[in-house]
Copies of this chain bind each other. A is one copy, B any other.
Amino acid sequence: MSAAGGRGARDASRLIRTANRYRVLRQVLADGPVSRPALAAATGLSRATVATVTGELHRRGLVRVAGFEDSAGGRPAALLAMDPVGGALIGVDMAETYVHAELFDLTLRVLATVRLPLAPGEDGPELVVERTAEAVSRVRERGAPPGVPVLGVGVAMPGMVDREGGVSVFAANWDWHGVPLLGLLARHIPYRLYLDNPLRATTVAELWFGAARGRRDAVVVNLGTGVGAGLALGGAVHRGASNSAGEWGHTTLVHGGRSCRCGRHGCVESYVGAPGIIRTLTEVAPGSALLRPGDQMGTIAALAAGSAAGDPVARRVLEVCADQLGAAVADLVNLLNPEVVVLSSWVAREWGAPLLEAVRGAVGRYALGRPLASAEIVLSPVEGDPVSLGAATFALEGALA
């Protein structure tokens, strides 16, 4: 107990220094060019702290003086902005059927994109690692201006990830168990590497650039083939005891209900993950023309187009799914009392506004009044691929730590 307390205290003071750097840099990213006094006002940090932090950021080449403020007498205040050529960041989204790498400048603008396909069966660690290294090398060649250093590469890998150890503990899609991924990648990639999973990548992307920015407590609901809830509590990612917090997809929505790929029954994911939604479609209208056999994304796109066009089957599926999703999101609202719930990932993006509207209605039916009143529900405002953006942000955070 004493040891845990001690760890906590040392962590706390290191974390607050890192949090100050994050806070200042997020503000420079949002408002730059911006003066130090304006940064102090916007972040609530003291001018002395802002001076210390911006000094560090300047020495590391992350931030530059981009101009001076007009002032009525006295010394004009320097305006700070991210230094676009201070470094480049690479974010990698390792998915089941492709490896997607993006190269960003320090304003997190995309400079280049490379996507290499993975054929079915191309799932051995060595092959996936080679493909990843190739994508990183090609995106680097294609996008980075000469002389600009790559500050780091963030890799988002599906499943349970031991972030400190750099190990893919378990990945259901490739049946990986305990693969020392960071070590394998380090043999091929000459940059600092950061590993985590796509759920945490999208959460970090929302914290830095999306709907969770400046919010104390936010939940990022990822709706894709799998589903999960990234938790941003107290302005930082809540990881839990073993970096596996957020497994909302495998919480129970219907005790004893549908069987789930995790081996249990009635999980949220078995209803509102893409395969669950498609199963609902086959229950509502067996043999529907909306069904694209073997094509999950195509079927969801057909459902989205259908519900927008007033197709009754698509409308009914939307209604059922939004009701289930609303009940499950209401659970997050009741339990965590967040300021904002962000719907993210490809199913949310594909279905868009009609899904948002129906989910808001359902959450209104299921959540308790007080937590409901303080919970905004929005679609992710992050443009581009939030997973590679978030992965690149791991590298930015790493450069600040």
Residues on A facing B (Cβ under 8 Å):
1-2, 4-10, 12-13, 16, 19-20, 23, 26-27, 30, 41-45, 160, 169-170, 213-217, 229, 231, 233-235, 238-248, 250-257, 262, 264, 324, 327-328, 330-332, 334-339, 365-366, 368-371, 373-375
Contact of A5 among B27, B229, B231, B255 (CB under 8 A): B27
A334 / chain B contacts, CB cutoff of 8 Å: 247-248, 250-251
User: Contact: A335 with B251, CB < 8 Å?
Assistant: yes
A170 / chain B contacts, CB cutoff of 8 Å: 369-370
- When chains A and B are docked, how far (Å) is the Cα of A233 from the Cα of B239? 10
A371 / chain B contacts, CB cutoff of 8 Å: 240-242, 244-245, 247
A229 / chain B contacts, CB cutoff of 8 Å: 335
Residue from A170, A238, A365 having most chain B Cβ neighbours under 10 A: A238
- When chains A and B are docked, how far (Å) is the Cα of A12 from the Cα of B170? 36
Nearest opposing residue in chain B for A331, CB measure: B251
Contact of A254 among B30, B255, B335, B373 (CB under 8 A): B255
User: Contact: B337 with A1, CB < 8 Å?
Assistant: no
User: Contact: B5 with A214, CB < 8 Å?
Assistant: yes
Nearest opposing residue in chain B for A219, CB measure: B335
Given known pairs A241-B337, A338-B241, the reply for A44 and B248 (CB within 8 Å) is no
Given known pairs A233-B238, A337-B241, A369-B170, the reply for A44 and B10 (CB within 8 Å) is yes
Contact of A257 among B251, B255, B264, B368 (CB under 8 A): B255
Residue from A20, A30, A240, A250 having most chain B Cβ neighbours under 10 A: A240
A27 / chain B contacts, CB cutoff of 8 Å: 2, 5
Nearest opposing residue in chain B for A252, CB measure: B327
Nearest opposing residue in chain B for A27, CB measure: B5
Given known pairs A9-B45, A42-B6, the reply for A241 and B216 (CB within 8 Å) is yes
A231-B335, A241-B338 known; 18 new pairs, CB 8 Å cut-off, are A6-B42, A7-B44, A8-B44, A8-B214, A160-B368, A217-B238, A217-B241, A238-B336, A240-B336, A240-B374, A241-B339, A242-B374, A243-B337, A244-B368, A247-B334, A250-B368, A252-B366, A264-B366
Nearest opposing residue in chain B for A19, CB measure: B12
A216 / chain B contacts, CB cutoff of 8 Å: 4, 8, 241
Given known pairs A8-B44, A251-B334, the reply for A373 and B242 (CB within 8 Å) is yes
A13 / chain B contacts, CB cutoff of 8 Å: 16
Given known pairs A251-B331, A370-B170, the reply for A245 and B4 (CB within 8 Å) is no
- When chains A and B are docked, how far (Å) is the Cα of A253 from the Cα of B216? 28
Nearest opposing residue in chain B for A245, CB measure: B337
User: Contact: B16 with A12, CB < 8 Å?
Assistant: yes
A16 / chain B contacts, CB cutoff of 8 Å: 12-13, 16
Between A and B, 7 residue pairs with Cβ closer than 8 Å are A8-B44, A9-B23, A242-B371, A247-B334, A250-B368, A264-B365, A331-B331
- When chains A and B are docked, how far (Å) is the Cα of A215 from the Cα of B2? 10
Given known pairs A240-B336, A242-B337, A374-B241, the reply for A214 and B2 (CB within 8 Å) is yes
